[in-house]
Amino acid sequence: MKPAPFDYVRCANVPEAIAALSGDEGAKVIAGGQSLVPLMAMRLARPTLLVDVNDVGLDGITVERDVIRIGACTRHRRLERDPVIARVAPLLQEAAGLIGYPAIRTRGTIGGSLVHADPVAELPTVLVAAGGFVVVRSGAGTRVIAAVDLFTGFLDTTLEHDEIVEDVLLPVAGTRHGSSFCEWSPREGDFATAGVALAIERDDDGRCVALGAAACGLASVPLDCSTLLAAVLGETSASGALLRQIARVMRADLAGDPDRADLVGLLAARAVHRAFARSDERSAAAA
Amino acid sequence: MSQTVNVKLNVNGAAAEIELEPRETLLDVVRERLGLTGAHAGCEQGSCGACTVLVDGELTRSCLIFAVQCEDKAITTIEHFGSPGALHPMMEAFRRHHGLQCGFCTPAMVLTAIAFLEESPHPTESEVRSALAGNLCRCTGYAGIVDAVLDVAGVAE
Ligand SMILES: Cc1cc2nc3c(=O)[nH]c(=O)nc-3n(C[C@H](O)[C@H](O)[C@H](O)COP(=O)(O)OP(=O)(O)OC[C@H]3O[C@@H](n4cnc5c(N)ncnc54)[C@H](O)[C@@H]3O)c2cc1C
Ligand code: FES
Ligand code: FES
Regarding whether B66 and B101 lie in a shared domain, the answer is no
Q: Which ligand is nearest to the CA of B50?
A: 2
Q: What is the pLDDT of residues B68-82, one digit of tens each?
A: 999 989 999 999 999
Regarding whether B66 and B9 lie in a shared domain, the answer is yes
Sequence-separated (6 or more) residues with CB below 8 Å from residue B90? B81, B110, B113, B114, B117, B148, B149, B152
pLDDT of residue B1: 52
Q: Which helix (H) or strand (E) holds A16?
A: helix A14-22
Q: How far is the CA of B51 from the centre of ligand 2 (A)?
A: 5
Delineate the domains of chain A, giving CATH numbers in brackets: 7-52 (3.30.43.10), 61-171 (3.30.465.10), 178-286 (3.30.390.50)
Q: Once rounded to an integer, what is the mean pLDDT over residues B38-63? A: 98
* ipTM of this complex prediction, to 2 decimal places: 0.95
pLDDT of residue A150: 97
Verify whether the Cβ–Cβ distance B66 to A104 is below 8 Å. no
> How far B16 CA lies from chain A's nearest CA (Å)?
20
Confidence check: pLDDT of B2 > 70: no
pLDDT of residue B157: 53
DSSP per position, A142-207: EEEEEHHHHEEETTEES--TT-EEEEEEEEPP-TT-EEEEEEE-SSTTSPPSEEEEEEEEE-TTS-
> What residues pair up with B53 in beta bridges, in sequence order?
B60
pLDDT of residue B155: 72
Regarding whether B23 and B11 lie in a shared domain, the answer is yes
How far is B152 from A189, CA to CA, in rounded Å? 25
> What residues pair up with B134 in beta bridges, in sequence order?
none
Regarding whether B64 and B96 lie in a shared domain, the answer is no
Domain stop point among B41, B62, B78: B78
Q: Which ligand is nearest to the CA of A109?
A: 1
Domain stop point among B78, B109, B140: B78
Q: How far is the CA of A161 from the centre of ligand 1 (A)?
A: 17
DSSP per position, chain B: -PPPEEEEEEETTEEEEEEE-TT-BHHHIIIIIT--TTS--SSSSSSS-TTEEEETTEEEEGGGSBGGGGTT-EEE-GGGT-BTTB--HHHHHHHHTT--SS-SSHHHHHHHHHHHHHH-SS--HHHHHHHTTTS--SSS-SHHHHHHHHHHHT---
Regarding whether B95 and B74 lie in a shared domain, the answer is no
Domain range for B34: 5-78
Q: How many CA atoms lie within 13 A of A188 on its CB side?
A: 14
Q: What is the pLDDT along chain A (287 residues), one digit of tens a residue?
A: 789 999 999 999 999 999 999 999 999 999 999 999 999 999 999 999 999 999 999 999 999 999 999 999 999 999 999 999 999 999 999 999 999 999 999 999 999 999 999 999 999 999 999 999 999 999 999 999 999 999 999 999 999 999 999 999 999 999 999 999 999 998 888 899 999 999 999 999 999 999 999 999 989 999 999 999 999 999 999 999 999 999 999 888 776 788 888 999 999 999 999 999 999 999 999 88
The terminus-to-terminus CA distance of chain B in angstroms comes to 54
Q: Quote the number of domains for chain B.
A: 2
Q: Once rounded to an integer, what is the mean pLDDT over residues B105-122? A: 97
Q: Is residue A69 exposed (0-12), middle (13-18) or buried (19+ Cβ within 10 Å)?
A: middle
Taking the whole predicted model, whether its pTM rises above 0.90 is answered as: yes
